[in-house]
Amino acid sequence: MGSLPWLSFLIFFPLAAAILVALLPRGAERSARLWATLAAAIEFAVSLPLWWRVVPGVPGFQFEEKLAWIPSVGASYHLGIDGVSGLLALLTTFMSLIAMVGAWTAVDKKPREFYALLLALEAGMLGTFFCLDVLLFYVFWEAMLIPMYLLIGVWGGQRRIYAAVKFFLYTMVGSVLMLVAILSLWNVQKQFSGVPSFDLMAFYAMPMAPASQFWYFLAFAFAFAIKVPMFPVHTWLPDAHVEAPTAGSVILAAVLLKMGTYGFLRFAMPLFPNALLQCGPWIAWISIVGIVYGAVVAMVQPDMKKLVAYSSVSHMGFCMLGLMALNSQGFAGSMMTMLNHGVSTGALFLLVGVIYERRHTRAIADFGGLWKVVPVFSVIFLIVTLSSIGLPGTNGFVGEFLVLLGAFKTSFAWAAVASTGVILSACYMLWMYQRVVFGPVTHEENNRLGDLTLRERLVFAPLLVLIFWMGCMPQPFLDRMQPALDRTLQLTQQRAVLSATMAGLAPPVFAPRETPVPAPIASEVRP
Amino acid sequence: MLWIIPALPLAAVAINLLLGDRLGKRGTAVLACGAVLAAFGFALRAVLHLASLPEHERHLTELAWTWMRVGDFSVDVAFLLDPLSAIMVLVVTGVGSLIHIYATGYMSHDHSFRRFFLYLNLFMFSMLTLVLASNYLLLFVGWEGVGLCSYLLIGFWYHKPSAADAGKKAFIVNRIGDFGFMLGAFMIIAATGSLDFDRVFAAAPHVFAAGGAAVTLATLLMFLGATGKSAQIPLFVWLPDAMEGPTPVSALIHAATMVTAGVYMLARSHVLFELAPATMEVVAVIGAATALMAATIGLAQNDIKRVLAYSTVSQLGYMFMACGVGAFGAGIFHVMTHAFFKALLFMGAGSVIHAMSDEQDMRKMGGLASKLPWTHGTMLIATIAITGVPFFAGFFSKDEILHAAFASGHKGIWLAGIVGAGLTAFYMTRLYVLTFRGPSRVSHEAEHHLHESPPSMIAPLVVLAVLSIVGGYVGMPFQEGGHLLERWLRPVMESGEAGLVHHEVSRGTEWALIFTSVGVALFGIFMALRAYLWNPAMATALRQRLDGVHRLLENKYWVDEFYHAVVVRPFVGVSEWLWRVWDAKVVDGLVNGAGYTLEGGSAILKLFQTGYVGTYALFITLGVIALFLHFLR
């Protein structure tokens, strides 16, 4: 791909496809899903080289593109990726394709618009991961909101308008605060360097007085926390998920929530490291509350989608806790959990979609005894459930283990309380699984349910492969993300020290307990 | 080639999944049993190779691949064969093979024959991973994997709500233990930088202060994991319910192999536990208390499998008792003999249940000895073995445990063990008498179908009966330099800094101890024979006289009810409250209320409340622009 604008292609190809799909002639509505899926497949194929073309060890960003956008204020069209955004972009293109094939038969109403919006959403998400200009980031961040708002508001369930508006306003409140912070930060940057710029690199290069970081950090963190979503600003998520169409739920869970954690990792944490050190323990505790709270509330949900939504609150709490641990294991665990959650929770929403399509209900009480009727569905549901509760050997375990290990190194109490999430996740997931799949068939209608079709099996097959691959051999993933994560950690630490020193303060001590180097064992000492 | 031992059953799982119903029942049976028998063959070959090595070289490791390496932490998928895992791997594959063969007969009429062997093979894979792992994290993979298979197999007859409930209960209770295991593992990483057995045990004496808080807490947390997996107080409640599963499952998972994983883990970690004397005391006391409690409950149960379940809990208590007093080798010895006779007892019970058209209540049995001669003969041997009658397997291992308790100065633990031995003899003889002796209480209909089991079920019983007799001779007492098993385990057990402390007692005391325990056992047998065979009125009279006690025991001390009232119900209540009040009223109330407040507060603003998101967005944008202008100035 050399000097070709690969990243731009990845952003604008789905956007172009979206426009073309929307413009399909009236009679060709049926073919909208075909063209859209084809576009998503091409997009995924083109994005695949992200796996091997992004060299993890290379410092900084790769495949950079930089064009002037609004030169007078220093805003530029600056793209680039590293191991972290590369993997998240792959997750995006992969899950978008999966979501489209998964929702093949789910949408009858206005298919052209539906698929066009899904493609536009994909473009927005990729742009958010790729851009290295803070203003551009904000543009993509907001742009992403609109397709999702429409997907929920038009194709959603009964309370779709309430859910869509809630989703929109919640996110808006956070992002407006972030915009204020971005603009103010731009002002500070201009005074610092004399050259106005919105470039992230310029912000990275600017030390900030620790005292002034606090409000900036809070504004960014608030915006991202809503997106994650962190307790107690999570209440938009269950409503949005319940009302959203299956494809929307999949994308929302698999990718959109990661924007929040990605935002912390890329922006809030390295930009305002001293404020982070100050607030980190609080955020960690809020994350832990989220882990427990999401799990506890998930337990009593009568609606499967709502249950999965609350479980997302719990899982994303693990992601945030890993970040706040501020060490290699915590970061890697957090990033793994982001990917795992994308795969597993995406699969869970697809599974709920599968039976919703057949029965038009998601209430747990309406099911029971499905194993006998739909065995293939039940087995896949079981595997995904186990991955979601972090059974060793599946992907969920690797992420949770590393997060908890990272958290443990920073604080015993964090790990001890957060680990109860491991017990609770087994409770709510297995209880739901039991009520849906085990027992006698309690509703006559369920006897006629059809098992997974070939298309549905093809959708789940790659997800199952990923669940086991990432669980048994996560090293290829870890190798790709670690250098970038470590650099982020270093950057955060360096900036913290630099900022404190500039302000004449004692440099903060990053003292996560490091693991002692293991003692050599007899077999190694022996010649 | 160690990896092939767990890989074989896993391959069988894969083939079973791929071929599906094309395999047929015969094909499924051959595949499943063949894989486990082959694994046994490979295990035997590997152990023979191990035995051919000089003592200090009996430690074979094998790296499969690096599992995860993050920062300064790294853990591999790697296997370890040493004398300790050798015993476990032979017991698991050996007894496992027999139970697989038995199950082909027992499950032959079940519609889900293929699914059953799928789970059973998956279990073998997990269990072999557990015992062959060379680090705590891979052990944990097996540990959770066997828990999963246990969940699936307990709930095998998923259409029965009680079975599905029992499966879920087992998994969740085990997860509480796993929570402890994980935290313990983190503490080990924090101190030693690794989870690899070799590294941890090499480093432990240098990084942990003997008796210090860190190692005590770490080992206590790991012991919490063991109490979950091995059904000890306070997490024993899942095992009796687990009897909802098919009987071969009870034999394989809930008697012979999985439930002993906790004992194996403690024996494997003996270096750490020896550094924490306080934990050792806790282990011994919990073990003794569990042994006594479960044995007393076993006195008053009428379901044949429930008696055996409580018996298992009780015998596991003995194993922990052994570990707690420092006799890890004796604990492993009892793991082995118990695997023989308890698997036999369960399979014999299965044979009875099979013959009785799925009746499990012993009050509806009786006089079956002549109808089921093979089942009766083998079960009699197993009963004698578990009660501790001399020269049968159970006698040697139980005696070694009691001896170790006494010799190490744990007189109270020893006394509990002796009382437990008497109770064991009593309830096992009761089980035997109620099932096989006395007048027949079999219903007319069941009588009609009464039949001895097919050879595929009887053959494993006979093999295990032989092992229940001779299996104990590897541990003959009164041998210079320790008995065979002790010598075999020495490279593992003496690797710790603390080493194995030998408490010698005089020959006379040793004989006195043996006579005491044998006497108590014989007394228990005698009392049970009197109460249930020779003078059945006595049992009734006794029950009436001790009505309160009997109700207490019959209802298992109301522990389940207690947990339900104190843990489960309040928890669900809090969950409901958090959702319906906190989430829906407080947080959403604030969110929605923000809008209403504005609406009510200002009549002017009310005009702008068009309800269109576009309008709101416009105002927000205007506000932002104002701020923008402010800063641009």
The top-scoring range by mean pLDDT among A12-21, B470-479, B618-627 is A12-21
Share of chain A above pLDDT 90, in %: 51
pLDDT of B500 higher than 50: no
pLDDT of B584 higher than 80: no
Nearest CA in chain B to A184: B631
ipTM: 0.87
- Interface probe for A, chosen from B70, B73, B141, B244 (most Cβ of A below 10 Å), is B70
Distances (CA, A) of B534 to B307, B314, B433, B527, B531: 21, 27, 10, 10, 7
A368: its two tokens: 């029971």
Average pLDDT, chain A: 88
Distances (CA, A) of B297 to A355, B402, B530: 45, 22, 20
| Torsion angle of the four alpha carbons B477, B483, B485, B486, in this order, in degrees rounded to the nearest 10 | 100
pLDDT of B593 higher than 80: no
- End-to-end Cα, chain B, rounded Å: 76
List, as ranges, residues 295-324 from A with C-beta within 8 Å of B. 296-297, 299-301
Average pLDDT, chain B: 87
pLDDT score, position B163: 87
pLDDT score, position A527: 39
SS3 state at A165? helix
Stretch A286-313: mean pLDDT: 92
pLDDT score, position A510: 66
Share of chain B above pLDDT 90, in %: 41
pLDDT of A63 higher than 80: yes
List, as ranges, residues 328-357 from A with C-beta within 8 Å of B. 328-329, 332-333
Spatial distance between the Cα atoms of A49 and A39, rounded to a whole number of angstroms: 17
List, as ranges, residues 157-176 from A with C-beta within 8 Å of B. 165-166, 168-170, 172, 176
List, as ranges, residues 97-156 from A with C-beta within 8 Å of B. 149
Report the residue from A297, A332, A398 with minimal CB separation from B583: A297
Distances (CA, A) of B157 to B78, B153, B395, B506: 35, 8, 37, 54
> Does the beta-carbon distance from A401 to B73 stay under 8 Å?
no
* B587 interaction partners in chain A (CB closer than 8 Å): 232-233, 235
pLDDT score, position B481: 66
pLDDT-derived band at B597 (thresholds 50, 70, 90) equals: low
Distance of CA B43 to the CA centre of its chain: 22
| Cβ atoms B388, B518 nearer than 8 A | yes
More confident residue, B472 or B95: B95
* A518 interaction partners in chain B (CB closer than 8 Å): 192-194, 196, 199, 203
Share of chain B above pLDDT 70, in %: 95
pLDDT digits (tens, 9 = 90+) for A471-512: 999 999 999 999 999 999 989 988 888 888 888 877 777 655
pLDDT score, position A251: 93
pLDDT digits (tens, 9 = 90+) for B518-562: 999 999 999 888 888 888 787 788 878 888 888 888 888 888 888
Stretch B575-589: mean pLDDT: 79
pLDDT of A524 higher than 60: no
Stretch B81-100: mean pLDDT: 93
Q: What is the DSSP string of B354-413?
A: HHTTS--BGGG----TTTSHHHHHHHHHHHHHHHT-TTSHHHHHHHHHHHHHHHTT-HHH
pLDDT-derived band at B320 (thresholds 50, 70, 90) equals: very high
Q: Calculate how close chain B gets to A121, using CA atoms only, in Å.
A: 19
| Cβ atoms A252, A244 nearer than 8 A | yes
| Residues with Cβ within 8 Å of residue A457, at least 6 apart in sequence | A376
* B77 interaction partners in chain A (CB closer than 8 Å): 472
pLDDT of B105 higher than 60: yes
Stretch B164-175: mean pLDDT: 87
pLDDT of A459 higher than 50: yes
pLDDT of A29 higher than 80: no
> Does the beta-carbon distance from B575 to A486 stay under 8 Å?
no
pLDDT of B604 higher than 90: no
User: Would you call A478 an interface residue with chain B, using a CB distance cutoff of 8 Å?
Assistant: yes
User: Would you call B358 an interface residue with chain A, using a CB distance cutoff of 8 Å?
Assistant: no
pLDDT score, position A1: 43
| Cβ atoms B104, B225 nearer than 8 A | no
SS3 state at B72? coil
Question: Which range among B60-64, B151-155, B479-483 shows the weakest confidence by mean pLDDT?
Answer: B479-483
pLDDT score, position B314: 94
pLDDT digits (tens, 9 = 90+) for B121-145: 999 999 999 999 999 999 999 999 9
Stretch B304-316: mean pLDDT: 92
Q: Calculate how close chain A gets to B621, using CA atoms only, in Å.
A: 8
Distances (CA, A) of B258 to A111, A522, B284, B307: 53, 31, 21, 19
pLDDT-derived band at B318 (thresholds 50, 70, 90) equals: very high
Distances (CA, A) of B250 to A201, B110, B308, B356, B389: 63, 17, 9, 18, 25
pLDDT score, position B499: 41
pLDDT score, position B502: 56
pLDDT digits (tens, 9 = 90+) for A171-184: 888 888 999 999 99
Q: Calculate how close chain B gets to A144, using CA atoms only, in Å.
A: 15
The dihedrals phi and psi of B401, each to the nearest 5 degrees, come to: -65, -50
Place of tokens 């992200």: A50
pLDDT-derived band at B605 (thresholds 50, 70, 90) equals: low
> Does the beta-carbon distance from A328 to B171 stay under 8 Å?
no
Convert B503-530 into a string of H (helix), E (strand) and C (coil): CCCCHHHHHHHHHHHHHHHHHHHHHHHH
pLDDT-derived band at B498 (thresholds 50, 70, 90) equals: very low
Spatial distance between the Cα atoms of A153 and B613, rounded to a whole number of angstroms: 12
> Does the beta-carbon distance from A423 to B171 stay under 8 Å?
no
| Cβ atoms A183, A167 nearer than 8 A | no
| Residues with Cβ within 8 Å of residue A46, at least 6 apart in sequence | A6, A9, A10, A13
Stretch A300-314: mean pLDDT: 92
Count of residues for chain B?
633
